Structure formats: C-alpha cells, structure tokens
Structure 1
Amino acid sequence: MSTPPPPQGPYGPPNPYGGQQPPQGPYASGPYPQQPQQQPPYGTPYPQQQPYGWGAPPMAPPPRKRRTGLVLGIVGGVVALIVAIVVGLAMVGAKVTGGSFPEAKYTLSLPRTLVDGRYELAKDLSDTEGQKVEKEAEGAWDAKDVRAVVGQYSLGGDQTRGTLVVSGMYGRFNHTELTRKNMMRGAAEGAGAKVAVPAQDFHPEGSDGITVSCEVLTQTQLGTQVTVPVCGWADGNTGASVAEVTTATMSQDPSEVDLDKAAATTARIRTEMRKPIG
C-alpha cells in the first residue's frame, strides 16, 4: 500500500523548494514562502521597539553640533546687544556741562574669572568692540580720559552652557546718575531689543552705596526669542553694563527674572573688576 502524499495547506506545499532550504536574501529568485504566525523572510519590518524602522527613533533630538551652533549664535547676539548698549549711551546721552571732574582713582580690568570663579574669560574684545565705545565717548559724554573694556565670559568654561558679557568704561565722569539712566535707555534702543520689564534701581549689599539699575530685554535671535536681563552701574571713575544669559534662563518668562539677584551679581562683578590706581 503506497504512502499518501502529505496534505497541502491553503498556501500550497509547506516547502515549495523541496527538501532544500529556500534561498536567502531579499532578492532571491522564486516564490516567497508564506508561513502564517511566523516571522517573514525580511524580518519584522516595524518591530515594536523601533516603530519607525531602521533604528531611527521618532523625533530624534538635533545633533549636538546643531544645538551648539544655535547656542553660540544666540551668545553672539547677546555680545552685540551689550556692546550696543554702551555705544548707544554716547548717542542718547547729551553732554551735560557744569560740575567738576573727580580725580581718577580706579580703573576696570578683565580678570581671568568673575562671580567667584563661576565664569571664565573667553574673549577680550577691548581692542575691537572697546574701540567703538571709546570712539563714541570722545567728546560725547561729560567725561574725560575714557577707556573701555569689553569681555565675554563663559559659564564654567563652556560657552554652550551660558555667557556673561561686560561692556565697561573707566575715566573721570560727571553726572553719574544721568549716565546710568542713559545706559538703560541705550539698552532699550540697541540691536532690536524690546523692554519687557522696565528699569528698576537696587542697592545690593556690598555695593558701597552705589545704585545698580536692572531691566529685562527680549530679543529675537535665530528665530528664538531670548530673555536678556541687563544691569548697569556708574560712579565717578567706572561704569559698565552686564548681561548674563544661560541655557536654563534664556527662554525664561521676563516677569520671572530675579532682578534682585541680577543686581547682586552686578555689584559683585564691580568689586572684582574695579581696581585702584597705583
């Protein structure tokens, strides 16, 4: 009695290639076996752990290089803004006559670190951007012997984490209150910035009674609105504007910026930069 042929399923013989294994690879010739409840010969095209196939996760974050470029572009915009503030001071501050010029007793320097070592000097821009300040200051302010210092500092030595920019001047100045107010006005009119929180006056501890004015600006850079707190001081020998922007605060709501803290930081910077002559 002969052995009956094996039963055929609804999809044809269980192995259309006979006793041999079917050819491997997506371009093998011949029919493709169809085996229900088994993995197809190409493997599962959309495995659950990789729903978009080929190992590409959905909404992958931009490459680090791209993120770094974005942050550095914003930092460059902040540098331009803070320099424009002091340069703009020469344009918005009409020269005031009267009064005597104080004796020159202090200068400003750019130390290697600021704010108790939190920030490291990344660029000394005194010979470039500082020259713009001196040129505009010549004969424009009620001031004598003006020199400028401009420095860009990076948070912990990493510019992609944050930056602090100081644009300052030293010499012999009259009418320091007007100078400080004009400094805040210059900020509002510089580099396309808008005032989000108007200037307020502070007297931080350790500031030797000097008034520090602070305001919050917003500026659109690379399609992103950046929050920039700006503070400034002016005394008989020195004056500067300070802007501090970090990746954690640059998208902060302007109304939530702690200006008391910003003023205290500025007073600390003044102490670290201001040096007696001789």
Structure 2
Amino acid sequence: MDDYTALGISNPTPVRIAYKPSSSASRQTVHFTGAWGSISNPEQVVDRDFAKTAQNAAEGPQGYTKLVGPLQRMHPSGLGDAVMKCQNVRSEVNQHTITTPLCVWADHYTFGEVLVVDPGALVNGGMGVSLGENADTAARIRADARAPR
C-alpha cells in the first residue's frame, strides 16, 4: 500500500494476477500487478514506477535484473486516455539471460504493470514478445480491469 501511495495513488487497492494460456501451444504467462484508486497525475505515476524499478535493479545483485534500452511511450489500440510506457527488462535466470518487456499504464483511476514471460525465451536465452506486443496485451488487460464508475 505504501509503495502505491509513494507513486502518487490515493486510497490504493492493490491487485495481482498471473494469466496462463488456455492453449497448450503457448506457454507464455502474463503477470499483472496494479491498483485502483485516485490518480491526479498519471504520467508522474508511470515515471515514478520506472524510476523505482531502476532503483531496485541498481540495488539488487550485480547482473541479476536491469532495465535496458530506451523507455518508450506507447499508444496501443484501446488505450484511451491512459499514459503507457514500456521498457525491456533483462534478467539472469538459471545462467540464462532473458529479455522481457515491461509495460506500465496509469489513468486517473487505475495503474498497472504488465510483464509477459515466455519460457521458450528462457531456454533460448533470448527475447520473448516485443514491446509492441506487450503494450497490446497491457491495453487489453486495462480494458478488462476497468469497471464503470
């Protein structure tokens, strides 16, 4: 709760869920962490979240997880009035390097982080989905997560 308040979300109600595909053909897992509440400055919340992620990576074990590449503003279909930015996260998992896109959105009522993990990328030591694909997934989750006020 304090972390969400520090980002700029008043009266946050946190939520966390992992989605697994219904098809056995895809083994990707989508991780969604977020909150709803009152957000006066959505862009500031997104920027603070990425700054906190970068700080946590810098304070963590050497080479374990870090943000790589530029932070990009994204505009996927269905985003509406929300602010969304994405950046790749590089992690060391079982002596393999995996790069996974992290997308974060905020509007005046909701905040969410979406990370798509592709186990195939763990085996191959490469990239899972692209930033654009993850942004599309994040926009769909946002649309599903929002409730009429």
Q: 1:245 aligns with which of 117, 127, 130?
A: 117
Deviations 1:178-208 (A, max 9, x none): 1111222223333542122221001112211
Q: How does 1:1-278 map to 2 (within 5 A)?
A: 134-138=1-5, 140-156=6-22, 161-190=27-56, 192=60, 193-250=65-122, 251-253=125-127, 258-277=130-149
- Separation in structure 1 between the aligned mates of residue 46 and residue 7 of structure 2, nearest angstrom: 12
After alignment, is 206-215 or 169-178 more displaced?
Answer: 206-215
* Unaligned ranges ≥5, structure 2: none
- Which protein has the larger Cα radius of gyration, Structure 1 or Structure 2? 1
Contact 2:54 2:66 in 1 (8 A): yes
2:28 alignment partner, SS class: strand
Residue 13 of structure 1 corresponds to none
Contact 1:148 1:168 in 2 (8 A): yes
Q: How much identity, in percent, do the aligned residues show?
A: 26
TM-score by length of structure 2 reads 0.81
1:180 alignment partner, SS class: helix
2:14 alignment partner, SS class: strand
Deviations 1:182-235 (A, max 9, x none): 222223333542122221001112211423111101111222222221001011
Deviations 1:152-198 (A, max 9, x none): 1223376x922111000100012211111122222333354212222
* Unaligned ranges ≥5, structure 1: 1-133
Contact 2:114 2:138 in 1 (8 A): yes
1:239 alignment partner, SS class: strand
- Separation in structure 2 between the aligned mates of residue 246 and residue 143 of structure 1, nearest angstrom: 30
Contact 2:30 2:117 in 1 (8 A): yes
| Runs of 4+ off more than 6 Å | none
Quick check: which one's helix share is greater? 2
Cα distance 1:261–1:161, how it changes in 2: closer, same or farther (>3 A)? closer
Q: How many residues align?
A: 140
Quick check: which one's strand share is greater? 2
Higher relative contact order (CA 8 A, sep 6+): 2
Q: Over aligned residues, Cα RMSD in angstroms?
A: 2.3
Residue 75 of structure 1 corresponds to none
